[in-house]
Amino acid sequence: MTPGRLPPGRRHAIGLDLGGGSAKVGLVDVAGEVAGWTPILTPSSTDPEVVLGAFAAGVERMLDLAGALRLQVVALGCGVPGNLDPSAGTITINNIRALDGFPVRDWLVRRFGLPTVLDNDSCAAAIGELSALRNPPRRCLFVAVGTGIGVVLLVDGEVVRLFEGVTGDASHLLVNHSEPPSDLRCALGCRGCLETVASGLAIDRDALDAARRGESPALAATLASGGTVAGRDVSVAAESGDVRSREIILRAGRWLGIGLASWAVVYRPEVAILGGGVARAGEPWRAAAEEEMLRRGIPFYVEAIEVRLATLGNTAGMIGAALSALRRAGAPRA
């Protein structure tokens, strides 16, 4: 648990950011300041009570911290990796299969007696990242690039929700129009969509192929020693001067730029924030996305977009979930 230094008395919420591998649980105030947070491993159980019980233990730790710091906890926010039925407080489909169709919000309300908000994890991360900007734009596009790609539009600080609690599923924009059609499919079965070429899974696939072919000495060595390679290995190798690893990162960035150019004419953002696990690739990846966006898109739209890297890392979803809960609870914004 990582404690912060905050004055007593300010209203707080507990933010939960759920993931297939782990969750983040934190104590957050209306300014997005974190008093403390802790990671929780996601159980592999198919029993929702077991899975939520592990996350609840993290919430209990944050409640104990709030008591020790004399902080008032008024709400609980939970970001989940999937589509929602917001009115019922259930997850319709996500990567924690035990929770599909389970009344997560009602379970948390019964357990903790706090007003509870359930939201998509990318939406929560978008709210968190926007809160970190000193001068937030009126129209902001947040793109979370990890195993998949989440695309969220915010207008005047609020998520634009089109269906199932999210902005839409814009990551499945069809971009690969090769003939014959590409055999690559995303996790949901779409062929030739942006996720197949710009996501973390695409980087993992290209890295493994480069290692097996011997095109990257660094990645080949990683594969030989550990049995696999992943995006983090590609970033490390690229920073060390591995040419093929840098090419893989830049290629993914350019594909993302095609997505940005396409979304520009639909969403017309002033700022695009690039986050998620792939954002660890840093400035070369961001610059490749921006350059391709400018090269491909309608100048009137794309030249007005500032492309930034996210700043909150893996705490964005946790912070955003807490902020959403505080707003629903009527806490004034900072």
pTM of the model: 0.88
- Cα–Cα nearest to 95, from 146, 25, 56, 54: 146
Give the pLDDT confidence score for residue 28 in this predicted structure.
97
8 A C-beta contact, residue 309 and residue 274: yes
* First vs last C-alpha separation in the chain: 25
**128 alpha-carbon distance from chain centroid:** 10
Going along the chain from its start, the domains and CATH numbers come out as: 11-129+314-328 (3.30.420.40), 135-310 (3.30.420.40)
Contacts 24+ apart (CB under 8 A), 56-62: 56/108, 56/111, 56/112, 58/16, 58/23, 58/25, 59/14, 59/16, 59/25, 59/108, 59/111, 59/112, 61/1, 61/25, 62/14, 62/25, 62/26, 62/27, 62/36, 62/37, 62/38
Give, for 143, the enclosing helix (H) or strand (E). Answer: strand 139-145
- Whats the size of the chain, residue-wise? 334
Give the pLDDT confidence score for residue 209 in this predicted structure.
93
Residues 196 and 204: their CA atoms lie apart, in Å, by 11
What does the pLDDT look like over 38-71, one tens digit per residue?
999 999 899 999 999 999 999 999 999 999 999 9
What does the pLDDT look like over 216-243, one tens digit per residue?
999 999 999 988 898 889 999 999 999 9
